[in-house]
């Protein structure tokens, strides 16, 4: 018994001393940096990329692949940590409060813009963050079951025009989500009225279309292409300027007769807190640019059927601002607060 | 198929693969046993390590971990009333009272044996029926999920002890808790302005608080520093009589319930263990002893939650649809290996699924053996004096809640639910219905609303869908039959007492 108490004491002491060490380090580190503002990155230090979803999802996979490629490029250490919760709000708060030294970064999707323009409107602006690199684009596609009577977007639209409010369309997220806005951009241009069914993930919506529980799924190529190949699903169109390499037979919306603005896309990238030094932003941006170009990362993109991102931080910042404008416009139209 | 399976076996008898099975099982135990670390978190942590591995080795490692973690959750549920995984909540209902009676050995042995047997039987079912069962799962649309969840909720009348009113209070409390966060269909916020609450109340930290931390408060009430008793038993404390009592649950019922519910994406191990537990209680002759330390309860809950693991693999392998959060991460791991779970997997690389099947048949007995060896070691935990145990349990609760997503938010949730749980239990409101409601509430809400959106004919939609209709009828029967029985019994007793008076 005595031994056990001693052991407990010992463990407690160890923990305490570890904590106090940590504090000292943090303090001295803080002082050092206040004195001289670093304008280059030190690859002896560890980089952390925070992901706002649980592990295993597409954004998490991108972050991990990008981290691996960045390690290859720099020889440094890039760690990926998951901070799920609050549809991204937990991760955003941590990024917003992180030191603007470039070592704490976050993975992002249109969800972050959605939070800034929506739920967290009163807390954050786009300027509160640095938009660093676009890692990939995952275009939207429209898929139906193989038994569906529709073989083209035109047939689908004709049916929807004759039966307003009948066609059920499923995809990720509530009204105002990236998938929902993508569908609205299409349905507005086609002038049809449909019913949106929200699912917790794109995968869930694909499951529902495989079981014929919804009429149409708004999805992404990586989620549906294998069912397209096996013949279980038909893909009627892709929301992109050009046809996709992996789906050469699928027309773009424009080719199918619906001239929509395709600048709205599911993209994933890297961001950080505002106030990061311009030189460091430039350095980070070029590290990720090189990482994206590595063979490993390109193979991953190809395997998961995504398009490569190719923007430096300036282009990406403009891009994010533009996406935000489209989103605000749609939030107003859809009545999302 | 047989040829494929034999090829699969020939693939796994290599040093590397056997090492993966062993490593996966061991890591899985600890991941499962630490409340807060769920099987899916464990898999996620290991995924990056598997990047450089051969796809088969990677998959075997992750699946072994998945299975062992579902078992590991039962260990702390039995010993400390702290379910290590959500699916082990039902294990605690009888496991912890058994341990309190000094029968921790027996409870642990029953839990590992039922886990092992359940997973093994379920693995065989998987090998035989993966593709047709996965196709069956596709029939589950919003309405079927809603009906399934309502069926689950109707189990409240089987599970509840004592006052039905208090059980219903517990259930509605759970249902209200589920509403916190962002509305899943139209995206407005409910009971939450900003920050972490937007993501809702995480289930597992709440469960840890409700069960384990409130138990700590109970321990503190009793200032006498007594040790828990552990009855001296030969071997593992599991007798022939015990086996006779539970073999049906262990070998037939729990595995089948676990497998079938595991196959249905989104239902999973937690629902499976709740259904199997209720079934065992309902069909038992000694209903009163459930919740007070009946080994059949442990066998049903643990057997079913482990059988759900092979079940969840069926839609994942055959269709590329995750049957659970863990299976979703496995799909991600496969993608990184350049493989795609789904129809292509069986056609183009049949060696992958069949090697996985073979590895299940080998890894489950290994997992069981390690578990049995651990029984006498784990039991030592409850010999620790209560005042020290209270500190250890609360530390585990806090660390576990923190590990849930590396932040303080789940820790606060755990603490709040711990305090709430203490008072709830003081008021004799059972915690079972709260758990039931929190597991099923989200499923009920989203799927009902989705069904109403998809349906053009309103509620009459139910009558056109046979699976949903059957489930709803079962739910009504499940809810009312035990009540009718109880009322009849009361009448009879009153009659008897009157007759005696006369």
The per-residue DSSP string of B190-218 comes to: ES--SGGGGG---HHHHHHIIIIIHHHHH
DSSP per-residue codes, B249-272: IIIIIHHHHHHHHHHSTTTHHHHH
The per-residue pLDDT for A34 is 41
- Pairing mode of beta strands B181-182, B189-190: antiparallel
Q: At A254, is the pLDDT very low, low, confident or very high (cuts 50, 70, 90)?
A: very high
Paired with A79 in beta bridges are: A48
Output the CA–CA distances (angstroms, integers) from residue A242 to A190, A237, A260, A307, B422, in the order listed.
Answer: 19, 11, 13, 11, 61
Record: contact A227-B343, CB cut-off 8 A: yes
Q: Which of A58-72, B223-237, B465-479 has the lowest mean pLDDT?
A: B223-237
Record: contact A85-B409, CB cut-off 8 A: yes
Q: What is the pLDDT of residues A130-187, one digit of tens each?
A: 999 999 999 999 999 999 999 999 999 999 999 998 999 999 888 888 899 999 999 9
Please report residues of A whose CB lies closer than 8 A to that of B343: 226-227, 230, 232
Question: Which of B38, B47, B146, B187 is most worth mutating to test chain A (most A CB atoms within 10 A of its CB)?
Answer: B187
C-alpha span between A77 and A271 (Å, rounded)? 18
Please report residues of B whose CB lies closer than 8 A to that of A164: none
User: Who has greater pLDDT, B296 or A6?
Assistant: B296
User: If you average pLDDT over residues B359-370, what whole number do you get?
Assistant: 91
Q: Which of A16-25, A103-112, B116-125 has the lowest mean pLDDT?
A: A16-25
Record: contact B322-A203, CB cut-off 8 A: yes
Report the share of chain A in percent with pLDDT over 90.
Answer: 53
C-alpha span between A250 and A172 (Å, rounded)? 22
Question: Which of A49, A118, A160, A211 is most worth mutating to test chain B (most B CB atoms within 10 A of its CB)?
Answer: A211
What domains sit in chain A, N to C, each tagged with a CATH number? 46-138+266-334 (3.40.190.150), 140-239 (3.40.190.10)
CA B3 to centroid of chain Cα atoms: 34
Record: contact A55-B47, CB cut-off 8 A: yes
Q: What is the pLDDT of residues B308-355, one digit of tens each?
A: 999 999 988 888 887 787 888 888 788 777 787 887 788 888 888 999
What chain B residue is nearest to A300 in terms of C-alpha separation?
B336
Contacts of B494 (CB under 8 A, 6+ apart): none
C-alpha span between B469 and B186 (Å, rounded)? 27
Record: contact B187-A299, CB cut-off 8 A: no
What chain A residue is nearest to B141 in terms of C-alpha separation?
A213
Mean of the per-residue pLDDT values of chain B = 87
Whether A14 shows a pLDDT value over 50: the answer reads no
Ranked by mean pLDDT, which of A32-46, B231-245, B405-419 comes out on top? B405-419
The per-residue pLDDT for B230 is 66
Whether B498 shows a pLDDT value over 80: the answer reads no
Please report residues of A whose CB lies closer than 8 A to that of B194: 86, 89, 119-120, 123
C-alpha span between B151 and B140 (Å, rounded)? 14
The per-residue pLDDT for A38 is 60
Record: contact B319-A210, CB cut-off 8 A: yes
Interface of A with B in 273-312 (CB under 8 A): 299-300, 303-304
Whether B229 shows a pLDDT value over 80: the answer reads no
User: Who has greater pLDDT, A33 or B356?
Assistant: B356
Q: Which of A175-179, B16-20, B493-497 has the lowest mean pLDDT?
A: B493-497
The per-residue pLDDT for A17 is 43
Work out how many CB contacts closer than 8 A connect A with B: 160
Say whether residue A191 is in contact with chain B using an 8 A CB cutoff.
no
Please report residues of B whose CB lies closer than 8 A to that of A52: none
Paired with A217 in beta bridges are: A143, A170
Please report residues of A whose CB lies closer than 8 A to that of B412: none
User: If you average pLDDT over residues B263-276, what whole number do you get?
Assistant: 88
Please report residues of B whose CB lies closer than 8 A to that of A55: 40-41, 43-45, 47, 329, 332
Q: At B233, is the pLDDT very low, low, confident or very high (cuts 50, 70, 90)?
A: low
User: If you average pLDDT over residues A268-296, what whole number do you get?
Assistant: 94
Output the CA–CA distances (angstroms, integers) from residue B125 to A66, A176, B5, B115, B266, in the order listed.
Answer: 40, 42, 14, 15, 20
The per-residue pLDDT for A309 is 86
Q: Which of A11-25, A180-194, A265-279, B20-34 has the lowest mean pLDDT?
A: A11-25
Whether A28 shows a pLDDT value over 60: the answer reads no
Nearest CB partner across the interface for B338, out of A195, A206, A303: A303
DSSP per-residue codes, B101-158: TT-HHHHHHHHHHHHHHHHHHHHHHHHHHHHHHHHHHTT--HHHHHHHHHHHHHTHHH
Q: Smallest CA–CA separation between B169 and chain A, in Å?
A: 28
Whether B64 shows a pLDDT value over 80: the answer reads yes
The per-residue pLDDT for A16 is 41
The per-residue pLDDT for B194 is 65
Please report residues of B whose CB lies closer than 8 A to that of A58: 332
Q: Smallest CA–CA separation between A35 and chain B, in Å?
A: 31
Record: contact B407-A85, CB cut-off 8 A: yes
Tokens of A184: 């609205």
Record: contact A175-B187, CB cut-off 8 A: yes
C-alpha span between B284 and B296 (Å, rounded)? 9
Say whether residue A77 is in contact with chain B using an 8 A CB cutoff.
no
Q: At A21, is the pLDDT very low, low, confident or very high (cuts 50, 70, 90)?
A: very low
C-alpha span between B166 and B171 (Å, rounded)? 9
The per-residue pLDDT for B195 is 66
User: Who has greater pLDDT, A323 or A90?
Assistant: A323
Question: Which of A61, A78, A213 is most worth mutating to test chain B (most B CB atoms within 10 A of its CB)?
Answer: A213
Q: Smallest CA–CA separation between A148 and chain B, in Å?
A: 16
The per-residue pLDDT for A53 is 80
What chain B residue is nearest to A89 in terms of C-alpha separation?
B195
The per-residue pLDDT for A18 is 44
Please report residues of B whose CB lies closer than 8 A to that of A83: 405-407
Q: Which of A208-222, A281-295, B85-99, B191-205 has the lowest mean pLDDT?
A: B191-205
The per-residue pLDDT for B37 is 83
The per-residue pLDDT for A26 is 39
Please report residues of A whose CB lies closer than 8 A to that of B182: 87, 119, 174
Question: Which of B48, B139, B143, B198 is most worth mutating to test chain A (most A CB atoms within 10 A of its CB)?
Answer: B198
Whether B294 shows a pLDDT value over 90: the answer reads yes
Q: At B226, is the pLDDT very low, low, confident or very high (cuts 50, 70, 90)?
A: low
User: If you average pLDDT over residues B53-65, what whole number do you get?
Assistant: 91
Q: What is the pLDDT of residues B153-208, one digit of tens each?
A: 998 888 877 788 888 999 999 999 999 987 878 777 788 776 678 778 888 899 99
Residue A291's nearest CA partner among A33, A104, A67, A119 is: A67
SS3 of residue A136 by DSSP? strand
C-alpha span between B192 and B412 (Å, rounded)? 15
Q: Smallest CA–CA separation between B405 and chain A, in Å?
A: 6
Record: contact A68-B140, CB cut-off 8 A: no
Whether B496 shows a pLDDT value over 90: the answer reads no
Whether A272 shows a pLDDT value over 50: the answer reads yes
User: Who has greater pLDDT, A55 or B87?
Assistant: B87
Nearest CB partner across the interface for A56, out of B194, B332, B407: B332
Say whether residue A97 is in contact with chain B using an 8 A CB cutoff.
no
User: If you average pLDDT over residues B392-405, what whole number do you get?
Assistant: 88
The per-residue pLDDT for A70 is 94
Report the share of chain B in percent with pLDDT over 90.
Answer: 37
Question: What SS3 string covers chain A?
Answer: CHHHHHHHHHHHHHHHHHHHHHHHHHHHHHHHHHHCCCCCCCCCCEEEEEECCCCCCHHHHHHHHHHHHHHHHHCCEEEEEECCCHHHHHHHHHHHHCCCCCCEEEEECHHHHHHHHCCCCCCCCHHHEEEEEEEEEECEEEEEECCCCCCCHHHHHHHHHHCCCCCEEEEECCCCCHHHHHHHHHHHHHCCCCEEEEECCHHHHHHHHHCCCCCEEEECHHHHHHHHHHCCEEEEEEECCCCCCCCCCCCECCCCCCCCCCCCCEEEEEEEECCCCHHHHHHHHHHHHHHHHCHHHHHHHHHCCCEECCCCHHHHHHHHHHHHHHHHHHHHHHCCC
The per-residue pLDDT for B65 is 94
Please report residues of B whose CB lies closer than 8 A to that of A8: 388
Q: What is the pLDDT of residues B110-147, one digit of tens each?
A: 999 999 999 999 999 999 998 898 888 888 888 999 99
């Amino acid at each position: 018994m005595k031994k056990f108490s001693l052991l407990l004491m010992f463990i407690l002491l160890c923990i305490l001393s570890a904590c106090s060490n940590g504090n000292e380090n943090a303090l001295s580190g803080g002082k050092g940096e206040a004195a001289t503002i670093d304008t280059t990155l030190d690859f002896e230090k560890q980089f952390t990329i925070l992901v706002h979803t649980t592990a295993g999802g597409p954004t998490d996979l991108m972050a991990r692949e990008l981290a691996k490629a960045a390690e290859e490029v720099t020889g440094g250490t890039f760690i990926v940590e998951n901070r799920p919760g609050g549809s991204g709000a937990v991760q955003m708060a941590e990024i917003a409060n992180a030191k603007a030294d470039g070592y704490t970064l976050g993975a992002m999707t249109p969800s972050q813009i959605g939070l800034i323009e929506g739920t967290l409107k009163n807390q954050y602006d786009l300027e509160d963050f640095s938009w660093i690199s676009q890692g990939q684009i995952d275009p939207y596609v429209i898929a139906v079951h193989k038994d569906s009577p529709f073989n083209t977007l035109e047939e689908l639209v004709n049916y929807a025009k004759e039966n307003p409010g009948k066609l059920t369309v499923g995809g990720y997220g509530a009204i105002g989500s990236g998938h929902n806005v993508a569908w609205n951009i299409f349905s507005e241009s086609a002038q049809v009225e449909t019913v949106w069914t929200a699912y917790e993930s794109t995968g869930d919506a694909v499951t529902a279309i495989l079981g014929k529980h919804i009429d149409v799924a708004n999805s992404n190529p990586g989620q549906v292409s294998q069912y397209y190949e096996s013949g279980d699903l038909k893909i009627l169109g892709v929301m992109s300027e050009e046809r996709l390499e992996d789906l050469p037979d699928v027309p773009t919306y424009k080719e199918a007769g619906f001239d929509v603005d395709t600048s709205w896309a599911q993209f994933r990238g890297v961001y950080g807190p505002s106030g990061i030094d311009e030189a460091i932003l430039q350095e980070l941006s070029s590290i990720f640019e090189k990482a994206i170009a590595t063979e490993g990362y390109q193979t991953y993109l190809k395997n998961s059927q995504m398009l490569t991102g190719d923007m430096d931080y300036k282009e990406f910042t403009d891009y994010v601002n533009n996406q935000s404008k489209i989103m605000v416009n749609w939030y107003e139209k859809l009545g999302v607060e | 198929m047989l040829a494929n399976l034999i090829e699969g076996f020939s693939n796994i008898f290599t040093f590397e693969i056997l090492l993966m099975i062993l490593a996966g099982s061991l890591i899985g135990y600890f991941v499962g046993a630490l409340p807060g670390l769920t099987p899916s978190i464990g898999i996620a942590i290991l995924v990056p390590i598997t990047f450089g591995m051969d796809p088969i080795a990677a998959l075997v490692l992750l699946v072994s971990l998945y299975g062992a973690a579902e078992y590991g959750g039962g260990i702390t549920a039995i010993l400390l009333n702290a379910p290590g995984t959500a699916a082990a909540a039902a294990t605690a209902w009888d496991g912890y009272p058994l341990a309190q009676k000094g029968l921790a050995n027996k409870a642990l042995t029953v839990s590992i044996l039922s886990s092992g047997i359940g997973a093994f039987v379920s693995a065989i079912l998987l090998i035989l029926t993966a593709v047709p069962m996965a196709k069956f799962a596709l029939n589950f649309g919003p309405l079927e999920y809603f009906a399934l969840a309502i069926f689950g909720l109707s189990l409240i009348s089987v599970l509840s002890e004592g006052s039905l009113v208090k059980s219903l209070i517990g259930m509605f409390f759970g249902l209200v808790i589920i509403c916190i966060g962002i509305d899943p269909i139209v995206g407005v916020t409910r009971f939450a302005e900003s920050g972490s609450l937007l993501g809702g109340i995480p289930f597992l930290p709440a469960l840890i608080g409700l069960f384990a931390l409130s138990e700590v408060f109970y321990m503190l009430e009793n200032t006498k520093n007594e040790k828990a008793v552990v009855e001296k038993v030969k071997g593992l404390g599991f007798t022939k009589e015990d086996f006779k009592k539970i073999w049906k649950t262990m070998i037939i019922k729990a595995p089948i319930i676990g497998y079938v519910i595991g196959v249905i994406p989104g239902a999973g191990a937690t629902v499976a263990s709740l259904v199997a537990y209720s079934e065992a209680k309902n069909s038992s002759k000694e209903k009163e002893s459930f919740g007070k330390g009946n080994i059949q309860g442990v066998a049903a809950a643990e057997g079913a939650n482990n059988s759900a693991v092979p079940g969840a693999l069926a839609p994942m392998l055959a269709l590329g649809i995750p049957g659970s959060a863990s299976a979703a991460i496995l799909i991600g791991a496969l993608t990184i290996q350049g493989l795609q779970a789904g129809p292509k997997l069986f056609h183009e690389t049949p060696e992958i699924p069949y090697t996985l099947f073979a590895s299940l048949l080998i890894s489950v007995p290994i997992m069981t053996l390690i578990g049995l060896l651990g029984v006498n070691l784990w039991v030592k935990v409850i010999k620790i004096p209560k005042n020290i145990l209270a500190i250890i349990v609360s530390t585990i609760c806090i660390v576990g809640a923190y590990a849930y997503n590396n932040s303080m938010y789940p820790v606060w949730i755990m603490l709040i639910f711990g305090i709430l749980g203490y008072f709830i239990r003081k008021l004799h409101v059972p915690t079972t219905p709260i758990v039931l409601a929190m597991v099923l509430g989200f499923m009920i809400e989203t799927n009902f609303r989705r069904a109403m959106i998809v349906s053009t004919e309103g509620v009459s939609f139910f009558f056109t869908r046979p699976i949903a209709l059957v489930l709803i009828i079962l739910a009504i029967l499940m809810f009312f039959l035990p009540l009718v029985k109880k009322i009849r019994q009361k009448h009879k007793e009153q009659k008897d007492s009157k007759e005696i008076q006369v």
